[in-house]
Amino acid sequence: MNWGIDDSGAHTIQQVATGLYRTQALYVATKLGVADLLSQGTQSAEALALQLKVHPDRLNRVLRYLCSLGVFEQVEAGLYANNAASLHLKANEQGSMGDLALLFGEEFYQAWGSLLEAVRTGRDAFGIEFGCSLFEYLEDNQPRARAFDRAMAGGSTFFEAVPEAYDFSPFQSVVDVGGGNGAALIPLLAQYPRLKGVLFDAASVLEAAARDLDRQGLAERCQLVPGDFFKSVPAGGAVYLLSRVLHDWTDEQCLRILRNCREAIVPGGKLKVLERLVPGPLALGADLNMLAVTQGRERTREEMDALMRNSGFALEQVHELPLEVKLLAAGPA
Ligand SMILES: C[S@@+](CC[C@H](N)C(=O)[O-])C[C@H]1O[C@@H](n2cnc3c(N)ncnc32)[C@H](O)[C@@H]1O
């Protein structure tokens, strides 16, 4: 073995084995609220540490590492400023990705600790760690549930691209099934003034969504319907939207949701599914996260096609959205 030569294979292993550095460094800076403090201007690690009541040298080491990854800017040694990436970590901003960093650093990080057991047993790692499914956990932890909704919505710039990617003007109503806080529905209603929305999700999720829709002045055009998509979905919609819902569930569970949409849709209606498709690089990672935190999976185009065929839909078109997300357009077969 030649120890002096950079072995690209060893470098790969080094990079992959140390992936936790990134998740936890980002988590620490987000949890401490560094980006919010830096929005007042450039500050030293000492000044930040004093306000945050943390150890200055240790904070400095976390921040200089994050700078090396492109999160925050090191103006000079020990002096930090926000950059385009760290601005996404500010709390309480529209589209903040802070809750995403916290979710991955807390619950998801803990769940991933049981990935080996999940691969061995076929159980979901989240269930092994927390003793219940992700959605049961959220139902019992409302502050974390709201944070989960914000994490889902945060940085989801692809929602903004949906109204452009597909012409919704022929349709009068959209039912957003498992719509969370309405992050997909809001840009659609804003772009198409004739469109009426139905946001369908668990009752506790809808309470928070109502506030968001109100803030956007869209409350009057959007009905909030609580329910369980495994039992039924609101009937009579022209478009049924399933955004990042199917990837949470097994094929059998997806078929139940899709068949309920098929039963509810008006003749000539359309189904729109937003998901990443395997084998995109982001989809492959997200697929493992689904394995860890749910019983679901990311799917190939062929697998999505089969789910649609087996539930009475025919896949018609696949539109590209940012961040590797696809809009799969289908109609009743
Ligand atoms: C991964 S989130 C996606 C949220 C949103 N569509 C988006 O793309 O940001 C899945 C959503 O499904 C909802 N959900 C889970 N189980 C449900 C059920 N049985 N009936 C209705 N909604 C459910 C959750 O509350 C959550 O809002």
Domain boundary pick from 62, 87, 112: 87
Confidence class for position 140, pLDDT limits 50, 70, 90: very high
Provide the pLDDT for residue 92.
85
Probe ligand 1: pick from 132, 200, 232, 245, max atoms within 8 Å of CB?
A: 245
Confidence class for position 100, pLDDT limits 50, 70, 90: very high
Average pLDDT, stretch 7-15? 89
Task: State the total domains in the chain.
Answer: 2
Higher pLDDT, 183 or 287: 287
Q: Residue whose CA is closest, atom 3 of ligand 1?
A: 244
Specify the DSSP class assigned to residue 270.
E
Q: Which of 7-11, 80-84, 102-106, 216-220 has the lowest mean pLDDT?
A: 7-11
Distances (CA, A) of 260 to 178, 256, 257: 13, 6, 5
Close Cβ partners of 119 (under 8 Å, ≥ 6 residues apart): 291
Per-residue model confidence as pLDDT tens digits over 229-270: 999 999 999 999 999 999 999 999 999 999 999 999 999 999
Probe ligand 1: pick from 137, 152, 231, 273, max atoms within 8 Å of CB?
A: 152
Per-residue model confidence as pLDDT tens digits over 16-33: 999 999 999 999 999 999
Domain boundary pick from 87, 115, 134: 87
Confidence class for position 6, pLDDT limits 50, 70, 90: low
177 and 71, same structural domain? no
Per-residue model confidence as pLDDT tens digits over 286-312: 999 999 999 999 999 999 999 999 999
Spacing, Cα 230 to ligand 1 middle (Å): 11
Which residues make beta-bridge pairs with 243? 274
Q: What is the 3-state secondary structure (H, E, C) of 107-154?
A: HHHHHHCCHHHHHHHCCCHHHHHHCCCHHHHHHHCHHHHHHHHHHHHC
326 and 206, same structural domain? yes
237 three-state secondary structure: coil
217 and 80, same structural domain? no
Read off the CATH number of the domain in which 54 is found.
1.10.10.10
**240 lies in which domain range?**
156-276+296-332
- Residue 229 Cβ inside 6 Å of ligand 1? The answer reads yes
Read off the CATH number of the domain in which 240 is found.
3.40.50.150
Q: What is the pTM of this model?
A: 0.93
Residue 118 covered by a domain:
no
Provide the pLDDT for residue 261.
98
Provide the pLDDT for residue 94.
81
Specify the DSSP class assigned to residue 189.
H
Which ranges in the chain belong to alpha helices (H)?
8-17, 19-32, 34-38, 45-52, 56-68, 84-87, 98-105, 107-112, 115-121, 125-130, 134-140, 142-153, 158-165, 185-191, 203-215, 251-264, 281-293, 301-309
d(CA 89, CA 93): 9
Residue 244 covered by a domain:
yes
- Residue 26 Cβ inside 6 Å of ligand 1? The answer reads no
